[in-house]
């Protein structure tokens, strides 16, 4: 996940309907205890032919990587970038707004700003690549390339946590995927949370269902991150979000009830997701969860 935000996964936990405490549909990753996450893989590995207007938008939004720049935006534009679910909620009738769980994790702008320090590389907070591993016994012993991922890639984010970027299910998955990923999920004791990346344009597919079933079977607490939200109209995106939210409510036990829509093009939702990761890894105390 070559993003400046997370992809991924972590942690074993008890099988509860709504885990309030304590990682993708393509790809997946893992958060490991007491280490660091550097970045979520770009939801879009290769940008398709993008209209000139969207290219201009992408360049214009590149400054929004810094949260200090986001805070200078007009309120409506800032809300759209930081809290995309709230923006979608505006399109619903009052009676149907309960279908979107937009307040489960609701940090302040000050908390989100503090979380940025975890993901900002400095001389004291180095974000570095550790190693690749084909099997669990190749994984580094932790203390407590563009293209389709074929191995488990470990990234350390300062002193905070480690992100493990995993290959996804599907026809391009590596041949040893089962031995690699399922063994890791079962046996890695310092996993904290799993982030399942779901393409918001097409919704939950068969390959996503396999990953969801695996997380449920292993009683792993996990979160759904909805990618590519810049590629749909508001109407289509809202329809997909409501369908996925209904699926989470009715069909899952270990999934965090709030969805996290994001875009690697406009950076929408990235700052909120970073804050969530800082919170669940114990690196930021907020009143939002």
When pLDDT is averaged across residues 25-36 and rounded to a whole number, the result is 48
- Structure token digits, residue 79: 């809300």
Closest CA to 82 of 109, 56, 57: 109
Question: Which residues are bridge partners to 227 per DSSP?
Answer: 199
Q: d(Cα 50, Cα 275) in Å, to the nearest integer?
A: 29
Q: What percent of the chain has pLDDT over 70?
A: 65
8 Å CB contact between 216 and 196? no
User: How much of the chain exceeds pLDDT 90, in percent?
Assistant: 39
- Bigger pLDDT: 169 vs 63: 169
pLDDT computed for residue 254 by the predictor: 95
Higher pLDDT, 35 or 258: 258
* 73 DSSP 8-state letter: S
pLDDT of residue 178: 63
- pLDDT(47) > 80: no
Q: How far apart are CA 259 and CA 9, in angstroms?
A: 15
DSSP reduced 3-state for 196: strand
Confidence of residue 50 (pLDDT cuts 50, 70, 90): very low
Q: Residue 24 — pLDDT band, cuts 50, 70, 90?
A: very low
Residue 212: which residues within 8 A CB-CB, separation 6 or more?
A: 196, 204, 222, 251, 252, 255
pLDDT at 4 over 70: no
Grouping H, G, I as helix, E, B as strand and the rest as coil, residue 75 is helix
| pLDDT beyond 70 at 13 | no
Residue 258 has pLDDT above 80, yes or no: yes
pLDDT digits (tens, 9 = 90+) for 69-96: 999 999 999 999 999 999 899 888 887 7
Using an 8 Å Cβ cutoff, are 169 and 199 in contact?
A: no
Instruction: Please list the alpha-helical segments (H only) found in the chain.
Output: 52-61, 67-70, 75-82, 84-89, 109-115, 177, 183-187, 206-217, 234-251, 270-280
In this predicted structure, what is the pLDDT of residue 123?
Answer: 87
Rounded Cα distance between 13 and 105, Å, is 19
> What average pLDDT does the chain have?
74
Q: Return d(Cα 231, Cα 268) in angstroms, integer.
A: 12
pLDDT at 190: 81
Question: Would you list the DSSP string of 137-164?
Answer: GGS-------S---SEEEEEETTTEEEE
Give the residue with greater pLDDT, 178 vs 285. Answer: 285
Per residue in 20-48, is it b (16+ CB within 10 Å) or e — as a string?
A: eebbbbbbbbbbbbbbbbbbbbbbbbeee
Residues sharing a CB contact under 8 Å with residue 145, sequence separation 6 or more, in sequence order: none
Where is pLDDT greater, at 45 or 66? 66
């Amino acid at each position: 996940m070559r993003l400046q935000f997370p992809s991924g996964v972590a942690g074993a936990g008890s099988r509860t309907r709504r885990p309030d405490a304590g990682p993708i549909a393509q790809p997946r990753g893992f958060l490991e205890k007491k280490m660091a996450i550097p970045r979520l893989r770009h939801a879009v590995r290769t940008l398709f032919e993008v209209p000139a207007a969207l290219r201009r938008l992408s360049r214009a939004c590149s400054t929004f990587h810094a949260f200090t720049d986001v805070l200078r935006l007009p309120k409506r534009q800032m809300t759209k970038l930081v809290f995309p679910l709230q923006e979608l909620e505006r399109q619903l009738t009052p009676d149907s707004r309960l279908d979107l769980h937009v307040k489960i994790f609701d940090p302040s702008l000050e908390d989100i700003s503090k979380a940025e320090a975890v993901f900002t590389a400095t001389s004291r907070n180095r974000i570095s690549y550790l190693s690749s591993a084909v099997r669990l016994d190749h994984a580094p012993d932790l203390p407590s390339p563009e293209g389709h991922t074929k191995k488990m890639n470990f990234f350390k984010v300062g002193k905070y946590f480690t992100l493990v970027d995993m290959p996804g299910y599907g026809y391009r998955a590596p041949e040893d995927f089962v031995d690699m990923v399922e063994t890791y999920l079962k046996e890695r004791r310092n996993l904290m949370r799993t982030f399942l990346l779901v393409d918001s344009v097409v919704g939950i597919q068969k390959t996503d269902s396999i990953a969801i079933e695996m997380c449920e079977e292993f009683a792993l607490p996990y979160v759904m991150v909805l990618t590519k939200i810049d590629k749909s109209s508001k109407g289509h995106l809202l329809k997909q979000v409501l369908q996925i939210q209904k699926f989470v409510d009715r069909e899952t036990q270990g999934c965090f009830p709030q969805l996290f829509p994001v875009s690697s093009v406009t950076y929408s939702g990235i700052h909120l997701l970073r804050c969530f990761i800082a919170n669940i890894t114990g690196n930021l105390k907020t009143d939002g969860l």
